[in-house]
Amino acid sequence: MDWDPFADPGDDSSQAPVSPPKPKPVVEQSKAKKGADDIFAALRFLEEGAQQPPPTDFDEFKAKLDVLFSTPDGEVDSLKSAYAEVARLSAGDGSRTISTWQRALGMLEAKECRNLLGFLIDDAVGLTADPSKTGMSAIHLDVPEEDSGDVVFLLSWGGGSLQDMEDVAKMYRELLPGCTIFISTSNRKQSFGLRCQCAFGIKSAAEAWSRSKSQPKLLVHMFSNSGMHAWTEILQAWGAIRSSEEHLGVLDDLPPLEDVLRGIVMDSACDSAVPLDSCIQSFVQSMAGTVAFAASSDHDGSEDGKRAAEVAGKRAVASLIGSASVAKSHLYAKPPKTLTKMADADTAIVHRLEPPVPMQFIYSKDDNIIVPQGVERYLQEVKDRPSRKGLSQPRVWCLEKSRHCFHKLTDPVEYRNCIALFASSTMS
């Protein structure tokens, strides 16, 4: 299907130790998550097989969906109750979420946002979900035939899919043939689901290093603030695991991050003070993939039906992200700080915990999601870190007329050359 939801922005021996076996360091954890949804709960969740709730009968779901869409929009309490039932029966089943959106697509073209559409929007951007109960988003692990000890983390942007990351993963596979590649798609900031994804990535890195006789190395390539949210979780989780007295299997030998981290690529990232307009544009674009799939998959299987559904998908996305979007109007009615807090990068944590390593910044002067002023502010803060004194300055590639997180398509040759040079100089 030829559409782009981001058209208006501007989916693993013996370790060669580099330090003595895991002394238990004193790790700053004053702001680390503790309790039922911390990194150790995430590791247990993965160990138990990330069990899903038992499936419910589709006929029951369909009946509840019929009740929801037949409830008068003005009867807010009844609507909330009906929506809660549909949400309960949709938990862990993306196909049911798509079915709900298929029934709601026409609301995107209305002049005012209906209450039911508002519930869907709030759910989609994470305003109503309990972050301690949020599920995992898509992840992917690409394991080489022979491990080189190199690991690459690819941390995607809001709305980015595993398919969107295929070209970047392929590039790293060609540049570092023996590397293990972990891809994590966007999830709600500070959520349990995101923590589980990061736990999987850290454990996968430890397993890759346990299989290799080569020196363990890690390169992190993050996109936008969503990638930064994941990196922030990883930094905190790494320290917590290293300082833990629990028996954690392969993670008992997790090396200090400063011993393995070789480089960081900041791709359209990051901003610690996202403007409200950029925040809302990012939210609706993150929803665009779901909306487009809901529309484009609603057909009878005939060629005419498929073509009509594809057109409907493009129209739905245009209505969602365009200037007259009722979804945007709904979000603008929210307290601004409620939205921007969800989007802002927690740079203070990263400044405190990130080891000083070579960095490559890639951003656009015309990005209207992570604006250049935000990237340049963070870049200056990085340069000013006391821990980086004596280290070479971060490399910078600033483009013009390039879309958010799609610099890889604006100039693919130069993009590959940039990453190839950085990877060869940091991972050799």
- Judgement on whether residues 257 and 194 belong to the same structural domain of the protein: yes
> To the nearest whole number, what is the mean pLDDT of the chain?
90
- Judgement on whether residues 223 and 315 belong to the same structural domain of the protein: no
Residue 8 has pLDDT above 90, yes or no: no
- Judgement on whether residues 242 and 355 belong to the same structural domain of the protein: yes
Q: How many domains does the chain have?
A: 2
- Judgement on whether residues 104 and 230 belong to the same structural domain of the protein: no
Query: In angstroms, what CA-CA distances link 378 with 154, 371, 389?
Result: 20, 11, 16
Look up the domain containing 313 and give its range.
58-91+93-132+278-326
Phi first, then psi: give them for residue 359, nearest 5 degrees.
Answer: -135, 145
Query: What pLDDT does 53 receive?
Result: 56
Structure token pair of residue 5:
């939801």
Domain boundary among 326, 357, 389: 326
Residue 134 has pLDDT above 60, yes or no: yes
- Judgement on whether residues 234 and 302 belong to the same structural domain of the protein: no
Is 339 domain-assigned? no
Give the residue ranges of DSSP H helices in 213-364.
224-243, 257-260, 276-296, 303-321, 326-332, 336-343, 347-353
Tell me what percent of the residues of the chain surpass a pLDDT of 90. 82
- Judgement on whether residues 180 and 223 belong to the same structural domain of the protein: yes
pLDDT per residue as tens digits for the range 139-167: 999 999 999 999 999 999 998 999 999 99
- Judgement on whether residues 127 and 141 belong to the same structural domain of the protein: no
Q: How confident is the model at residue 49 (pLDDT cuts 50, 70, 90)?
A: confident
Phi first, then psi: give them for residue 115, nearest 5 degrees.
Answer: -60, -40
* Lowest mean per-residue pLDDT among 91-100, 181-190, 296-305, 395-404: 91-100
Q: How far apart are CA 328 and CA 346, in angstroms?
A: 25
pLDDT per residue as tens digits for the range 61-110: 999 999 999 999 999 999 999 999 999 898 878 899 999 999 999 999 99
Edge-to-edge order in the sheet of strand 217-223: 139-142, 180-184, 150-155, 217-223, 261-267, 359-364, 395-399
Residue 381 has pLDDT above 80, yes or no: yes
Q: How confident is the model at residue 30 (pLDDT cuts 50, 70, 90)?
A: very low
Residue 258 has pLDDT above 70, yes or no: yes
Query: What pLDDT does 7 receive?
Result: 36
Residue 248: is it exposed, middle or buried by C-beta count within 10 angstroms (0-12/13-18/19+)? middle
Is 299 domain-assigned? yes
Is 399 domain-assigned? yes
Query: What's the chain's length in residues?
Result: 428
Average pLDDT of the segment spanning 35-62: 81
Q: How confident is the model at residue 133 (pLDDT cuts 50, 70, 90)?
A: confident
- Judgement on whether residues 393 and 412 belong to the same structural domain of the protein: yes
Q: How confident is the model at residue 54 (pLDDT cuts 50, 70, 90)?
A: low
Is 0.85 surpassed by the pTM of this model? Answer: yes
Query: What pLDDT does 198 receive?
Result: 98
Tokens 């915990």 belong to residue:
353
Is 228 domain-assigned? yes
Closest Cα to residue 287, out of 63, 120, 42, 37? 120
pLDDT per residue as tens digits for the range 281-320: 999 999 998 999 999 999 999 999 999 999 999 999 999 9
CATH number at residue 384: 3.40.50.1820
Query: What pLDDT does 25 receive?
Result: 45
Structure token pair of residue 326:
């009722």
Residue 199 has pLDDT above 50, yes or no: yes
Query: What pLDDT does 129 receive?
Result: 79
The three-class DSSP label of residue 410 is helix
- Judgement on whether residues 267 and 161 belong to the same structural domain of the protein: yes
Query: What pLDDT does 23 receive?
Result: 47
Is 233 domain-assigned? yes
Domain boundary among 260, 292, 326: 326
- Judgement on whether residues 128 and 193 belong to the same structural domain of the protein: no
- Judgement on whether residues 294 and 146 belong to the same structural domain of the protein: no
Is 34 domain-assigned? no
With a CB cutoff of 8 Å and minimum separation 6, the contacts of 339 are 125, 276, 279, 280, 283, 331
Q: How confident is the model at residue 132 (pLDDT cuts 50, 70, 90)?
A: confident
Query: What type of residue sits at position 12?
Result: D
Is 53 domain-assigned? no
Is 23 domain-assigned? no
- Judgement on whether residues 350 and 301 belong to the same structural domain of the protein: no
Contact (Cβ atoms closer than 8 angstroms) between residue 16 and residue 216: yes
205: part of which helix (H) or strand (E)? helix 192-211
